[in-house]
């Protein structure tokens, strides 16, 4: 009942936004939590600017995320997540009416040892000043996603789960979306969940100042159970708040905070908490109708010890870029 009440309050909060704004211009950065277990299931990216009748948009993104965590219980290894993920996503949107769109997302995932381990180890030691970095003692070339008694996989590559969806603009400032994710990824390599996911999302915008926009998102996803992950939660919840500053006619800076439920239930304290990330981004629009955004997400090197409810549980570092354009 408490979970339901919180959800209703958040929806009312977003609905109030829609009554106060005039346009869905600026948009958040199109990224999500790239923890390997989270990527098994569908998550909504923040809604982008709406398309006009007859328009279509292609976009291509590259995201690289390096993650490491280890949990020991009674001198026995309970969980290891040590990998680097490179994820390429092709997205297509097409307006099918005055306020309606359809969209498709096709991910290609590469999970391996990557190239960032030594850089992150140096960062933790020289800049952050960690004395007990858990990466010490682990080879830079190691890749493993392990939970005792459930799964133990190494590297993997291939197509992930493909998603299709529908969008309806209730107004210029309030957007509703639905999405269905299809189990096209190989679940034995943790490239897909092995089942269908279905989600609903609401996005809204509030214009704070002439150049400053506040955007919010709430989503609820039904996670299909299957594949190698036995303890997947039946439902996952997403929230996002973003500030977009329009620095000039063609440039925007974005600061956004996102939170989502843990996709699985491990029984390990801390790991099953909601996942929270802070993302910094820059977007530029070009005269030919194309745009590009670059971004970096942080899971708590600076703020976790002082603000643990704000950041935590996500890749050590995530960075990426996204390029797209609209055609009439």
Nearest-CA neighbor of 242 among 257, 260, 226? 257
Least confident segment among 26-40, 51-65, 131-145, 177-191? 131-145
Residue 308: pLDDT band (50, 70, 90) is low
Triad 35, 316, 254: Cα angle to 5°? 90
Residue 19: pLDDT band (50, 70, 90) is very low
pLDDT digits (tens, 9 = 90+) for 207-240: 888 899 999 999 999 999 878 888 899 999 999 9
The answer on pLDDT for 111 being more than 70 is yes
Least confident segment among 128-137, 138-147, 163-172, 231-240? 128-137
Residue 299: pLDDT band (50, 70, 90) is confident
95 or 172, which is more confident: 95
**Average pLDDT score over residue span 252-268:** 94
Q: How many residues are recorded in the chain?
A: 328
Q: Where are the alpha helices (DSSP H) in the chain?
A: 2-18, 36-39, 117-122
CA 134 to centroid of chain Cα atoms? 25
Q: Is the full-model pTM beyond 0.85?
A: yes
pLDDT digits (tens, 9 = 90+) for 20-49: 433 335 889 999 999 999 999 999 999 998
Q: How far is CA 36 from CA 67, 87, 152, in A?
A: 9, 11, 13
Residue 326: pLDDT band (50, 70, 90) is very high
pLDDT, residue 221, reads 98
d(C-alpha 39, C-alpha 157), whole Å: 13
**Average pLDDT score over residue span 93-101:** 94
pLDDT, residue 17, reads 44
**Average pLDDT score over residue span 112-119:** 85
* Token pair of 214 as six digits: 């506040």
The answer on pLDDT for 130 being more than 90 is no
Residue 272: pLDDT band (50, 70, 90) is very high
Q: Rounded mean pLDDT of the chain? A: 87
pLDDT, residue 35, reads 96
pLDDT digits (tens, 9 = 90+) for 50-84: 999 989 999 999 999 999 999 988 889 999 999 99
Q: What counts of helices (H) and strands (E) characterise the chain?
A: 3, 15
Hey, which bits of 27-170 come out as E strands? 56-73, 76-95, 100-112, 144-147, 151-153, 156-159, 162-169
């Amino acid at each position: 009942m408490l979970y339901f009440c919180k959800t209703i309050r958040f929806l009312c909060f977003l609905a109030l936004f829609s009554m106060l704004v005039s346009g869905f211009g600026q948009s958040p950065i199109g990224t999500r939590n790239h923890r390997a277990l989270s990527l098994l299931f569908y998550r909504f990216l923040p809604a982008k600017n709406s398309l006009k009748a007859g328009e279509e948009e292609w976009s291509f993104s590259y995201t690289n995320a390096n993650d490491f965590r280890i949990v020991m219980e009674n001198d026995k290894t309970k969980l290891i997540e040590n990998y680097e993920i490179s994820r390429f996503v092709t997205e297509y949107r097409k307006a099918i009416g005055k306020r309606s769109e359809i969209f498709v997302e096709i991910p290609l995932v590469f999970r391996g040892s990557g190239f960032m381990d030594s850089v992150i180890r140096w960062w933790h030691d020289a800049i952050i000043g960690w004395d007990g970095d858990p990466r010490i003692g682990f080879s830079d070339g190691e890749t493993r996603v392990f939970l005792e008694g459930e799964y133990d996989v190494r590297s993997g590559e291939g197509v992930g789960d493909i998603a299709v969806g529908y969008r309806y603009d209730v107004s210029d400032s309030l957007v509703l979306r639905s999405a269905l994710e299809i189990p096209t990824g190989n679940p034995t390599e943790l490239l897909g969940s092995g089942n269908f996911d279905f989600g609903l999302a609401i996005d809204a915008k509030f214009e704070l100042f002439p150049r400053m926009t506040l955007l919010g998102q709430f989503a609820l996803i039904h996670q299909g159970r299957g594949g190698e992950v036995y303890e997947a939660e039946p439902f996952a919840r997403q929230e996002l708040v973003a500030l977009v500053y329009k620095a000039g006619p063609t440039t925007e800076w974005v600061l956004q905070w996102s939170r989502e439920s843990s996709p699985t239930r491990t029984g390990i304290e801390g790991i099953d908490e909601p996942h929270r990330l802070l993302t910094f981004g820059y977007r530029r629009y070009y005269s030919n109708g194309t745009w590009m955004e670059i971004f970096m997400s942080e899971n708590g090197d600076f703020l976790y010890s002082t603000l643990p409810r704000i950041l935590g549980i996500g890749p050590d570092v995530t960075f990426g870029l996204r390029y797209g354009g609209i055609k009439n």
